[in-house]
Amino acid sequence: MSTRVIPGAEAFKFDGGPIGVLLQHGFTGCPASMRPMGEWLAQQGLSVVGPRLPGHGTTWEDLEGTTWHDWEGESERALLELSGRCSTVVAVGLSMGGAMVLHLAAKHPDKVSGVVAVNSLVYRPDLMFTPVARLFTRTVKGVGNDVKKPGQDEIVYDRVPLKAANELGKFIRTVDRELPSVRAPLIVFSSPEDHTVKKMNSGRILKRGGGTHKELITLANSYHVATLDYDAEIIFQRTLDFARSLAAGVGTSQPDTLDPA
């Protein structure tokens, strides 16, 4: 497997105080989509880690050779390292990264104090057909840089290997089943105009999540990669407030109503 990481796609880590934040990128993307958020939170005194999942940030051929358990392992290592030195840890994920942090919250409820899911993917039935599609083609055209704000680059692959897409499908089906076990306080950020993930995913997370403290925040001026878009500052600030409230032992808001269409 290649060891050359695309410049700008590297993992990052910023040491700070006792409040920690795990920032998880999405499928075929890399930590570049989360780095501005990490840098901003670090400036506010938080400890931050942004792991690069195996097969990401190098070549799509590398991604083709990984499984969702490989992705889980790297994200889990980052969580355990962070929770070992921070008394409060909020796990934040974009797209498939949102599914990952929900998975970590279900698997390690003692390590994850709160979850922030940004335009997250937990339900896409058509991925069940990728084994059939692989009989005809190895890859399909990539989807990325769905950003309303000009000049942004999340550093994403231009091809998606169907073998990895099948792994993605298996992973999100696992997470969907786990949602009732996610009892940590939860914030769901949702862009109504998202060209990558259907917004019904946000409604599904809120409805099926097992906790009592859940909140929906609508991102009216952003597309899918909202952490790099016009509403990024809203995500940054609300995550900071959320993390500080959890560290202080203060509960979060009850959920808003989301139209699942």
Q: Give domain limits for the chain.
A: 12-247
Cα gap 80→49, rounded to integer Å: 11
69 counts as catalytic: no
- CATH class of the domain at 12-247: alpha beta
- Are 23 and 50 within 8 A, CB to CB? yes
Q: Which of 103, 120, 224, 231 is catalytic?
A: 224
Q: Is 103 a catalytic residue?
A: no
Which single residue is written with the structure tokens 């921070």?
86
Which of 194, 202, 222, 229 is catalytic? The answer is 194
Instruction: List, in sequence order, every beta strand (DSSP E) within the chain.
Output: 12-14, 19-24, 47-50, 88-94, 114-118, 139-141, 159-161, 186-190, 214-218
Where does residue 119 rank: exposed (0-12), middle (13-18), buried (19+ CB within 10 A)?
buried
Q: Catalytic: 146? A: no
Active-site residue (options: 75, 95, 190, 191): 95
- Give the C-alpha separation, 14 to 212, whole Å: 31
One digit per residue, the tens of pLDDT, for the chain of length 261 reads: 457 999 999 999 999 999 999 999 999 999 999 999 999 999 999 999 999 999 999 999 999 999 999 999 999 999 999 999 999 999 999 999 999 999 999 999 999 999 999 999 999 999 999 999 998 999 999 989 999 999 999 999 999 999 999 999 999 999 999 999 999 999 999 999 999 999 999 999 999 999 999 999 999 999 999 999 999 999 999 999 999 999 999 754 444 444 444
Residue-by-residue DSSP string for 208-222 = H---S-EEEEE-TT-
Residue of 40, 58, 181, 70 lying closest to 115 (CA atoms): 181
